Structure 1
Amino acid sequence: MRPKFKQLAMAAAVTLSGQIPWATPASAYQVDCAILLCIAGGWPASAPCTHARAVFIRRITPWPVEPPLQIWRCPLGASFMPVETPIPSERLYEAANWTALPRQSYPADAPLREVQSTDRADVDISDETFDFVRSIRVFHIQYSQRENREGECTRWDVTRLGTYGIQGDYHWTLSKASEVPSASRLRVPVGCNNYFYRSVFVEWRDHAGNYGSEEVRY
């Protein structure tokens, strides 16, 4: 594991463990930064990461099926740095070191800019440091098959796939049950035996490439 990612995992497991409050509505920002850090660090064992993972899964629990990570709620560009632009990994450290509000270094007379709920990150995250964001894929699986009275096999497949773009924007596209990863419990039988399956399946890889997944049946 590269040194900067060791530090990132420690930031998620240690820095988050006692500094991020969860009780108020404003904590939505902290939750998404926690999800960002915790998934990068492989969901380290800590109360904030446990909470972040619960929110991550709740968002894919119908209805509606939401983007599990809403990176636009984590203001990675909140700090005012007129001289140097921080490298991508430093953006993550910025997110990890909050208390009640994002860390800011604005001049005393500068207006505080509210973080916008846009559909993408507020800074450039095209660097490979953020590949773990783009590894997140959400399959909304809706599949059934049965044999009709004429002996014909009727299949119904409206599976969709949710993915993240280069800058963290989230989009749904049409997919197929056959494209669902094997980690899902979906098992389409051979032939045309009666079968019905409906779930939301999410998969990801952390910064080190370790695979993870969760599935919610409904």
Structure 2
Amino acid sequence: MKRGAATALTCAGLLLAAPPVAQAYQVDCAILICLAGGWPGSTECNEARSVFISRITPWPVEPPLQIWNCPLGVTYRPPEDENALSLLYEAVSRPRPTVPRPFPAVLEEVLIPRPEKDEMLSLIADYADDNGVADVDISGAEYDFVRSIRVYNVEYARQRESGDGDCRRSEKVRVGTYGVQGDFSWSGSSVASLPDAFKGLAGWGEGCPSLYRRAVFIDWTDYQGNYGFEQVDY
């Protein structure tokens, strides 16, 4: 394993083992290790997951993991003979549900003021452009879980049958992905590219059921390849 991976996992192992202290760690370091470990059930990982999801909740839509804010290059470096993976196993072994159950909307209990239609469409297109790269080399396979993160912003997707029997569809979808060194970028996408776990557009392009959806969807795989996702409808 590369030195950079050992640095990240060691930093995170110390984070998970320590009692919670406000602002005692960079939240993006917590997101990094908690994501890798499948979001183990700890106070720090619960907070990290909350930040991870809130960043993709409009508005604006931000990179959920901002690895450039985690100072990997200045953290404690373990001895060469220390196995950094043991720290990850410690994180994974913490109590958590056997199969984490993704939930469809993190704002289920929160009432959000609804702006007028034109204002809403303007807000939907609001994306944060803050970006950077990790301060150590994360190009190795041990960091593939970072590059697995995808953020789909379905600004709108409409399908309905017109009065003359034609099926009318319109959509605007963008996808955010991570590069080799953790840099985040947006590109155009489509409803057809949405993961199977996305809810609310079943039947798109098959017949013409009436459909309408606005949502942000994020998915990832952890260090061991386990799949996870969240969807926020708005």
- Short-chain TM bin: 0.7 to 0.9
- Equivalent residue for 1:129, pick from 117, 137, 142: 142
CA gap 1:170/1:202 in 2 versus in 1, 3 angstroms:
same
- Equivalent residue for 2:167, pick from 153, 161, 164: 153
Q: Does 1:73 align with 2:86?
A: no
TM superposition shift of 1:80: 9.0
- Equivalent residue for 2:224, pick from 201, 208, 216: 208
CA contact (8 A) 2:11 2:76 kept: no
Matches within 5 A, 1:14-33: 15-19=15-19, 21-22=21-22, 24=23, 30-33=26-29
State the SS of the aligned residue for 1:133.
Answer: helix
Q: Report the Cα distance in structure 1 between the residues aligned to 2:76 and 2:223, rounded to whole angstroms.
A: 27
Q: Report the Cα distance in structure 2 between the residues aligned to 1:63 and 1:118, rounded to whole angstroms.
A: 17
- Equivalent residue for 2:190, pick from 158, 164, 176: 176
Q: TM-score scaled by structure 2?
A: 0.68
User: For residue 56 of structure 2, what is the aligned residue in structure 1?
Assistant: 60
Q: Report the Cα distance in structure 2 between the residues aligned to 1:152 and 1:161, rounded to whole angstroms.
A: 29
Question: What does the per-residue CA deviation read over 1:125-166, in whole Å, with 9 as the maximum and x for residues that have no partner?
Answer: 101111100000111122111223333222111111110000
CA contact (8 A) 1:17 1:46 kept: no
Q: TM-score scaled by structure 1?
A: 0.73
Matches within 5 A, 1:36-55: 36-55=32-51
Q: Report the Cα distance in structure 1 between the residues aligned to 2:26 and 2:216, rounded to whole angstroms.
A: 25
Q: Report the Cα distance in structure 1 between the residues aligned to 2:211 and 2:50, rounded to whole angstroms.
A: 30
Number of aligned positions between the proteins: 183
The higher relative CO (CA closer than 8 Å, separation ≥ 6) is in 2
Q: Report the Cα distance in structure 2 between the residues aligned to 1:144 and 1:74, rounded to whole angstroms.
A: 39
CA contact (8 A) 1:146 1:154 kept: yes
User: For residue 210 of structure 2, what is the aligned residue in structure 1?
Assistant: 194
- Aligned AA for 2:56? I
CA contact (8 A) 1:203 1:213 kept: yes
TM superposition shift of 1:18: 2.9
- Aligned AA for 1:159? V
Percent identical residues: 49
CA contact (8 A) 2:152 2:216 kept: yes
Segments of 5+ residues of structure 2 without an aligned counterpart are 88-129
Segments of 5+ residues of structure 1 without an aligned counterpart are 94-116
Q: Report the Cα distance in structure 1 between the residues aligned to 2:231 and 2:143, rounded to whole angstroms.
A: 23
CA gap 1:183/1:31 in 2 versus in 1, 3 angstroms:
same
User: For residue 177 of structure 2, what is the aligned residue in structure 1?
Assistant: 163
User: For residue 111 of structure 1, what is the aligned residue in structure 2?
Assistant: none
